[in-house]
Amino acid sequence: MNLLRTSENSQPTTAQTGAQPRTPVLLFINGTWRPAASTHTFADINPTTRLSYATVADGNVSDIESAIAAAKAAQPAWEALPPAARSGFFYKAAEIFQSSQEKFVNALVEETGSGLGKAMFECSLIPLALREAAALTTRATGEILPSNIPGKVNTISRTAAGVVGVISPWNFPLYLSLRGFVYALALGNTAVLKPSEDSPISGGTILAELFEAAGLPSGVFNVVTCSRDKVKAVAAAMINDPRVARISFTGSTAVGREVATTSAAQFKRVVLELGGKNPVVVLDDADVDYAVNVAFFSAFLHQGQICMSADKIIVARNLYDSFVEKLIAKVSMFEPLEPSNPMAVIAPIINDRQLDRIDRLVKSARDAGATIHLGGEKLGPFYRPTVMTGVTRDMDIYREEIFGPVAFVMPADSEEEAIALANDTVYGLSSSIITGNATRGQILATQIEAGMVHVNDTCVHDEPHCPFGGMKASGWVGKWGASGAIEAFTEQRWISVQTVPRAFPF
């Protein structure tokens, strides 16, 4: 089954051409595929080969304004559809996705360097999110409240915010892009997506293909891709446009702060998922082998290039030596491989900027006295999985998000010290506690300053129906997921009706 139905204005898709997309890849605005207004393009780079994977339309401010205009025009009719009608598009998209999943997996592998396992894991979340969105269309319920005024009826309702501007990242591009807009669409909003320049296809145009195939009305969902050189101007145009009611952003804390500051000046609400310095806390009653498995998955899935990845592992003193020995042994089993290899767990780093940054953090810590037990070096586009000890608070690697296949292990002499180390960061996204006593873990979870704490499980975890988001410098205002979307993407309105004449004092 082809991903897209054929039509004159449809571009060739990965489903029709295989893993390598036919180029140039176009913008998707108001239900049509078009080149950038400037006709400029940019190279989408394969992280493994560091060669061009595709040529992509390089949108500019004019293109983002056209997309916003299309979304604004389409929004009233989209919101006016019966909930069941909106749901149908999401159910259809889920059906199409499952029948074409291999094409999405291939795009993630080729464009972002995702190992096959990670790509399949990411794709497993897509039908869940689409079906959760379908169920959300009837969940923005209202209230009838009593009044102190005789004969008055107070109704509280939820209406769509309007146009949602979405800026998404490259690391889990398919899921994080979808999550950024699909619940907003379910609630009657329309959207304009600007995917990362490192994943314009798997984080952008392939989703436009999916929803076009599902028959989504023109203008409801739009995608504008652009190069790194134009990101600031295009994003600023989206954020500053008064027709955009909400900004949905996933990315670094530094950029998120700029987004929040600019939006706040316009009293524009934002939903932010930002960086993390996520700990795995291993308590003194934990099963060491299980703790090592959790820590490995948490730290090294997708080469640690996940906002929830754990790079700080805090282990009770009585288990510390055994844990470090076993973690080193496990990590040593996984050398970097090309992502298309079915055995690939550690695949390439997304680009040279990130590769050099990881190496700088590791080498700086080593030079300051930390010990590298394994890894600690670049191998072409890869970074060898790295285990470190002896990291101290004065080192950059202790404070900064690494976003690479690097984990450092720290001992803790008490429960209190372990929690203090876990909280010793400006971030507060996700955390993990490993213990032989789940009740103990649940109690301690309330003391960790993070938006999400998972007891006896990895800190890299998401379920579409749960509220996803962080605290401190990891998130602000809204939550992702269906349960947070109603608050994030609707306006609460109070309408009162005076059913009998009211007596006024003058």
Beta bridge partners of 271: 248, 477
CB-CB contact of 282 with 289 (8 Å): no
Peptide bond into 24 cis (omega under 30): yes
Question: Known catalytic residue: 258?
Answer: no
d(CA 250, CA 263): 15
**Structure-derived torsion over alpha carbons of residues 481, 478, 280, 406, reported in degrees to the nearest 10:** 90
CB-CB contact of 451 with 475 (8 Å): yes
CB-CB contact of 107 with 19 (8 Å): yes
DSSP state of 480: B
How many CB atoms lie under 10 A from the CB of residue 499?
A: 9
Secondary structure tally for the chain: helices H, strands E: 16, 24
- What tokens appear for 155 in the block? 């109704």
Q: Shortest CA distance to 136 belongs to which of 193, 75, 90?
A: 90
d(CA 269, CA 477): 8
Element (H, E) at 28: strand 27-29
How many CB atoms lie under 10 A from the CB of residue 217?
A: 17
d(CA 226, CA 213): 23
Q: CA 349 from chain center: how many Å? A: 17
Angle at the Cα of 44 from the Cα atoms of 42 and 48, rounded to 5 degrees: 150
DSSP state of 24: P
Element (H, E) at 494: strand 490-498
Which residue shows structure tokens 């490995």?
296
Residue of 273, 338, 463, 491 marked catalytic: 273
CB-CB contact of 454 with 148 (8 Å): no
The dihedrals phi and psi of 33, each to the nearest 5 degrees, come to -95, 130
Name the E strands within 264-361.
269-273, 278-282, 310-316
Give the β-pairing of 382-383 and 452-455: unpaired
**Where in the sequence numbering do the catalytic residues fall?**
273
